[in-house]
Structure 1
């Protein structure tokens, strides 16, 4: 279950539309859909139903937040028409003659074919999608999890009333739903091919017309790479939907692990047994007995829910959902199902009271439902702000996750106040000397980026692991070469790499090669993190990250006070500890003021309290290194290209080989920066550490391999291509953004020298609000993190978020990018 923390989950919810005056179900969903974004809201078979689609997210709390925003939007729109929306399996007051199917050829055909069955399809459900890329696994999981589906149905039961009468069931929707010919437990098929063949056979009978009409309780989705849960009733309380999503993801993960370990499905997975379990759950909900999925005998429903959640604890802990799922489970068991609450309302106020309860609970204010949007923020976003992959803002302009306090503070400033702070920022940068290249201020956006604690814990583990593996690799590659002898990495890939240097062999085996590494990561809209590249030569950015915090503290202090985050000087303590591992006699060496990052060199030397030197400031006497003032230097924190250093001080090689001087970082480390070596890092982790990689690479194709080259050239307009020795964004071509002329030019370069190129899948990188021209724009961001290696890896508690220019996906300063203050929680 090591990779479960990055498995995304999404939810589709269906809502009835009811007239707030008569409390009747009404066919007016199309009115609401006219003003709602069609990528998040859609119609269904009946014109009385609106469907919402959450974004997929890695964290359950993010799913909950998104679902609340979707409910908020549809409920607000409904009220403008005197309507309410209800998330429940059924609503009790219905006029069948007044209801119509949605005018769509598919739905009209279903009405013609299924008659009363289609006209009475006045039911709503909640569907949960969990990522499973392998369709064969998705098919197997659909069958294996089926014994637990009745438990999820019982938790969601919200349809006791049907056409004005108490049905006697907690979920009468289930009985209505099971009238369709392709519902119920999924058959025990063993592969995607067998499943597709079965679906084709069903369509061939003419009873169903397309794969979308296969309505099993769980099924592999027919349009996205997920396993789809379909059995639950729609739930009035949004947190109950989140509970279903958390438990279902854990069930999927548990069965994935069981398949990997070779454990068979439980005996009760037989479809004929599961169907009886389902009937029991629809009848009783949580208020009676369910059938135990493992033992196949009746037990109190609440006991089975508790036992199920406890059984799933390893998976829930792996996703970080354990505490939240426990809280949500306690809540639903304490208050009972919606079916019970509806019957209580009926006893005191009749069917009208039931509808009022459902409307109220569907719109219920929870901690995931902000009391108000930030009006100034929404105004600055404008109507065209794309939130589809935004880290800070939900689609309706409300804050996501930890951004509530920050966006509230920004809202108080407003556009004019923020513009004034932006002007102040430039003056402060002049005062601090924050330049990148001579005369050019280092671009900084005032709206900080927040990396939540769950993300940062994951990144710390993954970055430490990656650094340890690369340190082993560099020592091995310049030493015994075991990884080459064992056939893990080709010899010519190592010795032929542009970053390979003979000076790398001068580094003693006991020396630390990667005293400080910089790893660039991106996050997609669902919350997956990917490593873009490793920087082991002279990683820059730590000083700018520190300066960004100073800048924020002086220009927008109300934002800095809003969220607690580590003080930037803690980073210097970590860096100093790593650099002085060999000796406290330390200096920072630079090529001088002509270096674009010279400001950072000066800042770091000052904060480390060490001399800032150029090659001309040093001399060698009696086999040791001194400054011209006579200060002995044993460790050089290198912020100069090694070629320039050797050209200026060729005899320094001898000191390095003798061990009287340590270079941090070591010469030859550029081998580890190589984009072709990057593709092998997961294998390095397995080989040297015997561990499963925690952080994913972007899927990468080596053009030196004929099959990969063919794929890259065939899909050039879809992929990102990079030179293996490129840095600073040099030579990168993003296929979807490139012109035909650019694609043809890079195609010719790749074909002429394929060894020099890689291709990568294009990641839908997350965006972040960036203030420009008095407005907020969603700009692509990445994250440069730093790891210092002493006795153990130490992830620096400071990071640099880099921001792409308008319309670009490349964040490097040399390509017009900027930066943000970054808060690690």
Structure 2
């Protein structure tokens, strides 16, 4: 199955000219701009008059646009500090060739010697868009499927009408200049990465190019990353147009992947025709005609753009990009091309007016508005590593929608935040909000004041995927303890089910029609690109709803001015969802706990109180001769179980009989640990396909079953790269993160895996996103995950409240039992 659109990340490289703000001439001053910018995000190009920026890859176009704006902000601010202007356009109109030079680099100097005029006149800037493709074989096949549409993308970006002080007569003179290099134009029609690499090797052998980096086709697969790169667009003065190009190109790539998967033929278009259509797009931009690749006939450019939008609409809607991309496309068509705006400026005031327009448009949307950086919060963020952060952009400004939070922290300052922490501790002690780890004394449940915000687009997709996953797991458990149709159909082996540590004979006692997974807790992680993965499922005794409620109430008492502005639902709604799931068959409900010795007893007390039901321990329960269950003299028909089933059955004689007779329902049902099994976790996407006949919405982390000999060998070989877990582990117990482990820890876990391979799985190491956490008077990035909840009763409903867990400094393990803390979490609709 190919990657789904929502899981495909896109990144952008932009090139910027530098001009003297007084003379408006192109100047070789890149060094003056780059010396105070991060080397990994900003770099030189062939000409010393050009600065290149590199965005992070993102799943969300809005996140990408923020990153692009911040990168532009960095170039603009440093340029203006040196008396320069930054221009994002294919060319600039005022050039003194004698004053320019190539960047002092051996490779660039060799290019100047070898290519002479081409290198000297490489005074052009482009936009490169990179889209993830699963492998290079697919990338080269996708390239020639997408190629017929690249002239349309060129027209949308056309921004280079002037060349060496004159109107070239073209909307994109850059395209003409660029096409003089020997390896430009439409990509070659090849069917494999090997065929493509052989072609490059032949080109190098001719001496025409010296290395693979000189392959400049309009589309090219990366030599070292699973991406396809679009190279045809001019640099765009407006960041909105770059975002539009990224959205359209990603959709074209995803649509091509889907066509390949489903065996649909590509558009019949020869490379000679694509080259001709590219020339026409460079000549006329958006103001003339473009060739519709489907029929091969010219139409008004706006009509061809609209046809492309219509063609891509299903993919854009599936990805959640339709509204944004359609809006950006309509706005771009209404504005017209940059080339047309430049010509209008020239008519009004000459070439200087053109440069001023380009400088102004490049600067647009990069200014730090009043909701952006402030003095005290910037001080708290000094040295902040935002390379994987959800809330902070690399220049220490706020990502949407964190402006509100940074404003609040700025008003408080470090001393004010520390004072609120004192207030937090006082409130927690008053509430008895403790958590016990191991044999240690009770400690205050670690709570960070900086809230986490899950954007509506993210939460919409995640919550739909959570409900889908819960339904599939419910169906699997019912089948695994019943007729085992999934085994008969060869999807899962009986041996894998029967050998699971979570398999319990009591699971067969659940009467038909009873929901097994009344409450599901699913742990998710988010990568720096914004991709969500399910880390594990918790269906035995999932905890956390109570702490998520308490976090909101705690935040409301400590930061009332911030929580009042939070655009998210009240915890009362979560209580209502939980109550409906637990009582949809009977109102005679009680919550059973181990009691004060349980690490999460605070949560048990809180939930019983909010639900308005008795809180009992096993010793309070009795079963009469008719298999009815009582807590004292109060009848109980549903037990919300917050205790291990083995302990409960051992402590209450007759409870198994009550379960089998149907006089008692346990929520969650005994035997649910089967679905918590880390080995069976890898089959959940298959459960979704088998039981629901649906495509999985949420991805699993790539997982290896050590019980399989080939996988075992790979795991042992890559132990230092992977995360290994016992199949029956929970709370972070037994987890070893290879990149963070010592040689002794790796040797120990190697011996354990070798001794009992079936007891272990391994997973690829996922770069968890980070989130600002206040510590020692400053904000620092900490790894986070998200525990979200689904309740199943008469309906399946995702709880509108989730628990963000926060790792300790330098750790990737977020579990509370391993020292992790938590945050208030705002789920936006």
User: Would you say same fold, with TM above 0.5?
Assistant: yes
Residue 724, structure 1, aligned to residue 723, structure 2? no
Indicate the residue corresponding to 2:207 in structure 1.
206
TM-score with structure 1 length normalisation?
0.98
Residue 760, structure 1, aligned to residue 763, structure 2? yes
Check 1:112–1:367 CA distance in 2 against 1; reply closer, same or farther (3 A cut).
Answer: closer
Check 1:581–1:628 CA distance in 2 against 1; reply closer, same or farther (3 A cut).
Answer: closer
1:92-147 Cα deviation digits (max 9, x unpaired): 11111221111112111111110111111010000111111122221111111111
Distance 1:644 1:663 in 2: 14
- Superposed displacement of residue 602, structure 1: 0.5
Residue 506, structure 1, aligned to residue 505, structure 2? no
- Superposed displacement of residue 369, structure 1: 6.9
Distance 1:239 1:246 in 2: 11
Indicate the residue corresponding to 1:544 in structure 2.
547
- Superposed displacement of residue 153, structure 1: 0.7
Residue 581, structure 1, aligned to residue 584, structure 2? yes
Distance 2:252 2:598 in 1: 55
Distance 2:488 2:258 in 1: 33
Question: CA contact under 8 A between 1:68 and 1:369: conserved in structure 2?
Answer: no
Question: CA contact under 8 A between 1:65 and 1:368: conserved in structure 2?
Answer: no
Indicate the residue corresponding to 1:168 in structure 2.
169
Question: CA contact under 8 A between 2:506 and 2:671: conserved in structure 1?
Answer: yes
Residue 406, structure 1, aligned to residue 384, structure 2? no
- Superposed displacement of residue 222, structure 1: 2.2
Query: What SS is found at the alignment partner of 2:52?
Result: strand
Check 1:658–1:372 CA distance in 2 against 1; reply closer, same or farther (3 A cut).
Answer: closer
Query: What SS is found at the alignment partner of 2:295?
Result: coil
Indicate the residue corresponding to 1:423 in structure 2.
422
Distance 1:184 1:369 in 2: 41
Indicate the residue corresponding to 1:363 in structure 2.
363
Indicate the residue corresponding to 1:302 in structure 2.
302
Residue 609, structure 1, aligned to residue 612, structure 2? yes
- 1:264-283 mapped onto 2 (5 Å cutoff): 264-267=265-268, 269-283=269-283
Distance 2:330 2:491 in 1: 50
Question: CA contact under 8 A between 1:139 and 1:219: conserved in structure 2?
Answer: yes
Q: Size of the alignment, in residue pairs? A: 823
- Superposed displacement of residue 415, structure 1: 1.0
1:373-399 Cα deviation digits (max 9, x unpaired): 13222210112x110110001011111
Residue 695, structure 1, aligned to residue 694, structure 2? no
Distance 1:134 1:747 in 2: 31
- Superposed displacement of residue 433, structure 1: 1.2
Question: CA contact under 8 A between 1:33 and 1:41: conserved in structure 2?
Answer: yes
- Superposed displacement of residue 370, structure 1: 6.9
Indicate the residue corresponding to 2:784 in structure 1.
781
Query: What SS is found at the alignment partner of 1:401?
Result: coil
Check 1:583–1:81 CA distance in 2 against 1; reply closer, same or farther (3 A cut).
Answer: same
Residue 183, structure 1, aligned to residue 184, structure 2? yes
Distance 1:55 1:628 in 2: 57
Check 1:365–1:327 CA distance in 2 against 1; reply closer, same or farther (3 A cut).
Answer: same
Distance 1:712 1:257 in 2: 32
Question: CA contact under 8 A between 2:95 and 2:164: conserved in structure 1?
Answer: yes
Distance 2:500 2:528 in 1: 34
Gapped runs of 5+ residues in structure 1? none
- 1:788-803 mapped onto 2 (5 Å cutoff): 788-803=791-806
Distance 1:461 1:302 in 2: 36
Question: CA contact under 8 A between 1:2 and 1:694: conserved in structure 2?
Answer: no
- Superposed displacement of residue 365, structure 1: 3.0
Query: What SS is found at the alignment partner of 1:472?
Result: helix
Distance 1:584 1:126 in 2: 62
Check 1:569–1:372 CA distance in 2 against 1; reply closer, same or farther (3 A cut).
Answer: closer
Indicate the residue corresponding to 1:289 in structure 2.
289
Distance 1:326 1:682 in 2: 32
Distance 1:552 1:430 in 2: 14
Structure 1 segments of 4 or more deviating over 6 A?
366-371
Residue 441, structure 1, aligned to residue 440, structure 2? no
- Superposed displacement of residue 563, structure 1: 2.4
Question: CA contact under 8 A between 2:622 and 2:653: conserved in structure 1?
Answer: no
- 1:548-697 mapped onto 2 (5 Å cutoff): 548-697=551-700
Query: What SS is found at the alignment partner of 1:548?
Result: helix
Distance 1:567 1:63 in 2: 31
- Superposed displacement of residue 464, structure 1: 0.8
Question: CA contact under 8 A between 1:586 and 1:633: conserved in structure 2?
Answer: yes
- Superposed displacement of residue 368, structure 1: 9.3
Gapped runs of 5+ residues in structure 2? none
Distance 1:302 1:82 in 2: 39
1:706-734 Cα deviation digits (max 9, x unpaired): 11111111111110011111111011111
- 1:370-519 mapped onto 2 (5 Å cutoff): 372-383=372-383, 385-437=384-436, 438-519=441-522
Distance 2:803 2:710 in 1: 37
Question: CA contact under 8 A between 2:622 and 2:632: conserved in structure 1?
Answer: no
- Superposed displacement of residue 344, structure 1: 1.3
Indicate the residue corresponding to 1:223 in structure 2.
224
- Superposed displacement of residue 472, structure 1: 1.0
Residue 192, structure 1, aligned to residue 198, structure 2? no
1:469-526 Cα deviation digits (max 9, x unpaired): 1111111111112222222112221111111111111111221111101000000011
Residue 250, structure 1, aligned to residue 251, structure 2? yes
Distance 2:651 2:740 in 1: 42
Indicate the residue corresponding to 1:238 in structure 2.
239
Question: CA contact under 8 A between 2:372 and 2:403: conserved in structure 1?
Answer: no
- Superposed displacement of residue 283, structure 1: 0.7
Stretch moving more, 603-612 or 126-135: 126-135
Stretch moving more, 642-651 or 772-781: 642-651
TM-score with structure 2 length normalisation?
0.98
Question: CA contact under 8 A between 2:510 and 2:659: conserved in structure 1?
Answer: yes
Question: CA contact under 8 A between 1:288 and 1:300: conserved in structure 2?
Answer: yes
Check 1:175–1:371 CA distance in 2 against 1; reply closer, same or farther (3 A cut).
Answer: farther
